[in-house]
Amino acid sequence: MITVGRYNLRWQTLLTIVVLTLLCLIWVYPFLWMVSASLKTQSEVFSSGLNLIPQDPQWHNYQRAWVDAQFSRYMINTVLITVGTVILTIVSTSLAGYVLGRYRFIGRRPIMAILAGTIFIPAGYTIIPTVDLANKLGLLNSLWGVILVLAGTGNVIHILLFSAYFSSLPKELEEAAVLDGAGFLTVFFRVMLPLSGPVIATVTILKFLGSWNNFFVPLVFTFSRPDLRTLSVGMFAFVGENETDWTGMAAAATISLIPVIIIFFVMQRRFVEGIAGAVKQ
Amino acid sequence: MTVLSSQNRGAPASLAPSTILNKVWRDRWIYLFLVPTIILFGLFTLYPMIASFLLSFQDWNGFSREASYVGLANYQEVIADPQFWMAFANTILFMVITVPIRVTLALILALVLNNPKLPFAGFFRTALFLPVVTTMAIVGVVMTFVFDPVGGPVNQVLMDTNLISAPINFLGRSNTALPTAMGIHVWKWFGVTLIYWLAALQTVPEELYEAARVDGASVYRTFRHITVPLLVPFGIIIVLITAIDTLRVFDLILTLTGGGPFLKTEVVEVYIYRWAFNSSIPRLGYASAAAVFFGLTTMFMAILQGLGYALVRRMRGTS
């Protein structure tokens, strides 16, 4: 009986693995198809059925996307926007999270209440006045405009993450530093900020994903400046302009997705922890 | 400097205004630290929220033109527009259909993947999570080709296996476009819900399972009497987070179908975009009225979430 039971268990595990493998294959298939199509000829995409291996890799598809379709330009724009947004976000949210988490002061409660009240505001609700304001400030049609808008939206969770972390650090830390004659700034930059590495990493990843993948803001900010498009906006425009160039499209999509996928694989643990943190709190 | 008690220090209570000023002056570094957030958040989150509301009472045909006050006319027009209600219905339909699928399927897979004896669990988790990190707008474009009736792989599989006799134009037919978009949405965001459930399952102490095993409880009974009661509070939060997620499908819909065919897949954010940015005469006040309507719906969901959190706390408190 026990042997049968054990056999049964193994058989079940095996079945589970087979089913999961099939599911995962279906799950990643669109990506495999995309990479495969990016190396095929136009006619091969239609004729080769489900065969993913290209007969003769067509690397010039990438050249067409990278040079002719300007994806090199879009890549630079996206990197600049992402780096700028992440840096601005880390600076502003760590400073705010520190004082909100560690001090009681006049105005703290209303600030917390206003922040909490805006967590779930959808982009569609604020986009029209945002464009109007950017227009009046001369920020429309500039990368800076996109960076400032992205750094000024969707940060409440990040502030709360910093605030929760800083409030959990023991009091003795800064008391010791204060005895040594450290002022407010020294305590923050020399004692507190260096300790907040894990939160900085989490916020960096969440904001990196948010700004690299953003579409609505760069779309409406670059209507009259095609040279400022990001990868996602460029992709949208590319399809509108070259409806039949499937292989060029696949190459452009691969170029756009490879950086996030690589960063995801390198920092997988932090990605998962960062996202899981939303439920655990 | 004493932490968390700075209000107790400072000048003794004298004239109230000067006390406040003294306190503010003493805490000047604190306020200075808040300046970047106040500027960024104030300009690009708080101001647009208020301005959107005010704009919804105005008639305004372009960013460089003057606006005029029209009272509730925009709202009356929004409410009378069947296209708005179609977009609204699509948004709600998206939520009502995809949320249960995502939450249930993710729970089943999380239970399977949470088994420490399962080989390659990490690999499976990675594969299922992969779409989450990718750019929705780009995925949307790729999917228009994957579901293409002429050369797309989905139709090729269905044709090769003789499941269908003629290719289906999944995204071009009015009765298949929205379900296809929902399917892609589930595929894209499934991994997030899975991670939520896995995080929730991690909180169930291993000893409880061992105790149940020693007592000879069946797999079903263990699930029913140990896992479920401990997961219910998390479940409420996961359903609400997932629901709010599904209100934001602008990127997917615009790149996948642009709202078509015949506006059958248009959601509220695409409707706002169409009136504000994609029509020959932009109607910004009118689009704002639709946006406020939509924002209120989202806020209602958020309030539900707040109530959910409160409920969870109470449940944790009593158990």
pLDDT digits (tens, 9 = 90+) for A68-121: 889 999 999 999 999 999 999 999 999 999 999 999 999 999 999 998 888 777
Kindly list the residues from chain B whose CB atom is less than 8 angstroms away from the CB atom of residue A125.
Answer: 48-49, 52, 291-292, 294-295, 298
Domains of chain B: 12-69 (no CATH), 75-318 (1.10.3720.10)
Structure token pair of residue A1:
């009986």
- Inspect the interface and report whether the beta carbons of A151 and B145 lie closer than 8 Å: no
pLDDT confidence tier of residue A1, bands split at 50, 70 and 90: very low
- Inspect the interface and report whether the beta carbons of B135 and A256 lie closer than 8 Å: yes
- Inspect the interface and report whether the beta carbons of B40 and A148 lie closer than 8 Å: yes
B56: helix, strand or coil: coil
Distance (Å) from the alpha carbon of B175 to chain A's nearest alpha carbon: 23
Structure token pair of residue A4:
């049968």
Which residue pairs, CB below 8 angstroms and at least 24 apart, start in A237-241?
A238/A65, A238/A69, A238/B141, A239/B141, A239/B144, A239/B255
Q: What is the pLDDT of residue A28?
A: 93
Q: Cβ distance A196 to A102 under 8 Å?
A: no
Kindly list the residues from chain A whose CB atom is less than 8 angstroms away from the CB atom of residue B237.
Answer: 279
Question: Rounded to whole angstroms, how far apart are CA atoms A242 and A143?
Answer: 25
Question: Rounded to whole angstroms, how far apart are CA atoms B286 and B61?
Answer: 9
Question: Rounded to whole angstroms, how far apart are CA atoms B155 and A57?
Answer: 24
Q: What is the pLDDT of residue A278?
A: 58
Among B33, B131, B287, the residue with its CB nearest the CB of A128 is: B287
Lowest mean pLDDT across B31-40, B79-88, B227-236: B227-236
Kindly list the residues from chain B whose CB atom is less than 8 angstroms away from the CB atom of residue A95.
Answer: 33-34, 36-37
Q: Closest chain B residue to A221 measured between Cα atoms?
A: B277
The DSSP secondary-structure symbol of B59 reads E
Distance (Å) from the alpha carbon of B133 to chain A's nearest alpha carbon: 7
Does B2 score more than 60 pLDDT?
Answer: no
- Inspect the interface and report whether the beta carbons of B47 and A34 lie closer than 8 Å: no
Q: Cβ distance B53 to A128 under 8 Å?
A: no
Q: What is the pLDDT of residue B316?
A: 66
Neighbours of B293 (CB within 10 A): 19
- Inspect the interface and report whether the beta carbons of A220 and B277 lie closer than 8 Å: yes
Average pLDDT, chain A: 87
Handedness of CA B45, B49, B54, B58 (dihedral sign): positive
Structure token pair of residue B256:
């996948």
Q: What is the CATH code for A69-241?
A: 1.10.3720.10
Q: What is the pLDDT of residue A2?
A: 36
**What's the rounded mean pLDDT across residues B6-34?**
72
- What separation in angstroms does the CA of A31 have from each of A25, A74, A254, A256? 10, 21, 8, 12
* In the block, residue with structure tokens 């995801």: A264
Kindly list the residues from chain B whose CB atom is less than 8 angstroms away from the CB atom of residue A223.
Answer: 277
* In the block, residue with structure tokens 């499209």: A249
Among A37, A120, A174, the residue with its CB nearest the CB of B3 is: A174
Distance (Å) from the alpha carbon of B291 to chain A's nearest alpha carbon: 5
- Inspect the interface and report whether the beta carbons of A33 and B146 lie closer than 8 Å: yes
CA torsion B234→B235→B238→B239, rounded to 10°?
Answer: -150
Q: Closest chain B residue to A34 measured between Cα atoms?
A: B142
Which position has the higher pLDDT, A280 or A103? A103
Q: What is the pLDDT of residue B7?
A: 42
Question: Rounded to whole angstroms, how far apart are CA atoms A125 and B44?
Answer: 12
Structure token pair of residue B294:
């939509």
Q: Cβ distance B294 to B73 under 8 Å?
A: no
Kindly list the residues from chain B whose CB atom is less than 8 angstroms away from the CB atom of residue A236.
Answer: 137, 141, 254-255
Q: Cβ distance A59 to A254 under 8 Å?
A: no
Q: What is the pLDDT of residue A214?
A: 92
Q: Closest chain B residue to A137 measured between Cα atoms?
A: B43
pLDDT digits (tens, 9 = 90+) for A220-270: 999 889 999 999 999 999 888 877 788 999 999 999 999 888 888 888 887
Kindly list the residues from chain A whose CB atom is less than 8 angstroms away from the CB atom of residue B241.
Answer: 278-279
A63 Cβ partners below 8 Å, 6+ apart? none
pLDDT confidence tier of residue B1, bands split at 50, 70 and 90: very low
* A2-37 and A246-266 helices, crossing angle to 10°: 130
Question: Rounded to whole angstroms, how far apart are CA atoms B102 and B122?
Answer: 20
* In the block, residue with structure tokens 């080709």: B145
- Inspect the interface and report whether the beta carbons of A152 and B139 lie closer than 8 Å: no
Q: Closest chain B residue to A50 measured between Cα atoms?
A: B153
Distance (Å) from the alpha carbon of A33 to chain B's nearest alpha carbon: 8
The DSSP secondary-structure symbol of B225 reads I
* In the block, residue with structure tokens 């932009």: B282
Q: What is the pLDDT of residue A49?
A: 67
Report the percentage of chain B scoring pLDDT > 70: 94
**What's the rounded mean pLDDT across residues B83-108?**
93
pLDDT confidence tier of residue A280, bands split at 50, 70 and 90: low
**What's the rounded mean pLDDT across residues B34-39?**
95
pLDDT digits (tens, 9 = 90+) for B6-18: 444 444 444 567 7
Question: Rounded to whole angstroms, how far apart are CA atoms B6 and B3?
Answer: 7
Question: Rounded to whole angstroms, how far apart are CA atoms B269 and A117?
Answer: 20
pLDDT digits (tens, 9 = 90+) for B166-225: 888 999 998 999 999 999 999 999 998 999 899 888 888 878 888 888 888 887 888 888
Question: Rounded to whole angstroms, how far apart are CA atoms A31 and A250?
Answer: 10
Among A37, A127, A133, the residue with its CB nearest the CB of B43 is: A133
Distance (Å) from the alpha carbon of A56 to chain B's nearest alpha carbon: 19
Q: What is the pLDDT of residue B246?
A: 86
Residue type for position A124:
G
Lowest mean pLDDT across A66-80, A205-219, B238-252: B238-252
pLDDT confidence tier of residue A281, bands split at 50, 70 and 90: low
Structure token pair of residue A78:
């996206």
Distance (Å) from the alpha carbon of A77 to chain B's nearest alpha carbon: 15
Q: Closest chain B residue to A251 measured between Cα atoms?
A: B142
Q: Cβ distance A270 to A205 under 8 Å?
A: yes
**What's the rounded mean pLDDT across residues B47-71?**
87
Average pLDDT, chain B: 85
Annotated domain spans of chain A: 69-241
Does A275 score more than 80 pLDDT?
Answer: no
Handedness of CA B187, B193, B197, B199 (dihedral sign): positive
pLDDT digits (tens, 9 = 90+) for A115-167: 888 877 777 788 999 999 999 999 999 999 999 999 999 888 899 889 999 99
Q: Cβ distance B164 to B158 under 8 Å?
A: yes
* Residue A235 Cα to chain centre, angstroms: 17
Q: Cβ distance B180 to B170 under 8 Å?
A: yes
Kindly list the residues from chain B whose CB atom is less than 8 angstroms away from the CB atom of residue A175.
Answer: 3
Q: What is the pLDDT of residue B16?
A: 67
